[in-house]
Amino acid sequence: MTTAVTPQLRPAGWGRRLGALLIDWASSWAVAEALAAIGLVRDDSSTIGAVGTVVLVVEMALFTALMGGSFGKLVTRVRVVRHDDPSRPVSLLRAMIRTVLTFLLLPPLFTVDGRGLHDVAAGTRTVTI
């Protein structure tokens, strides 16, 4: 269910991007808490933190590859598209590169022509729809 995109789409603002990341983080930790509540993982802060981080990485990469954006991006109407051809889906490899680099925290903060360094490295761009 990706949205058709065109090269004239504008880069997503940092407010939406940060909002999307906060939604992703909160929802992933909620999943980890739920897994602890039903006994599938240990109910201690370090285990829940580790599980929440794994859920976050998997969610961000898979949703980006399958639907054009993480859960938070879908909610905030932001999409990740290929820089070279926005009409083609982002591959799982590109989505994983972008997600891993996001966790270094610095790449999203520095931009090259409206793109974070994680987007430059993955050959993607983040746009508002």
**What's the burial of 129, exposed, middle or buried (CB within 10 Å: 0-12/13-18/19+)?**
middle
Among 21, 100, 11, smallest CA distance to 61 is for 100
Whether 85 maps to a domain, the answer reads yes
Q: Give buried/exposed letters for 54-91 (b at 16+ CB in 10 A, else e).
A: ebbbebbbebbbebbbbbbbbebebbbbbbeebeebbe
Q: Residues 34-50: what's their mean pLDDT? A: 91
Grouping H, G, I as helix, E, B as strand and the rest as coil, residue 82 is: strand
What's the pTM?
0.85
Whether 82 maps to a domain, the answer reads yes
pLDDT band for position 1 (cuts 50, 70, 90): very low
User: In the chain, what percentage of residues exceed pLDDT 70?
Assistant: 93
Q: State how many domains the chain has.
A: 1
pLDDT band for position 2 (cuts 50, 70, 90): very low
Whether 7 maps to a domain, the answer reads no
- pLDDT per position as a tens digit, 58-102: 999 999 999 999 999 999 999 999 999 998 999 999 999 999 998
Instruction: Give residue 12's identity as a one-letter amino acid code.
Output: A
Residue whose tokens read 């989505």: 95
Tokens representing 53 are 């981080």
Whether 25 maps to a domain, the answer reads yes
Range of the domain at 60: 14-128
Instruction: Give residue 30's identity as a one-letter amino acid code.
Output: A
Of residues 82 and 6, more confidence is placed in: 82
Arithmetic mean of pLDDT over the chain: 88
Whether 6 maps to a domain, the answer reads no
Give CA 84 to chain center in angstroms.
Answer: 19
Predicted pLDDT at 13:
86
As a whole number of angstroms, the distance between CA 107 and CA 96 comes to 14
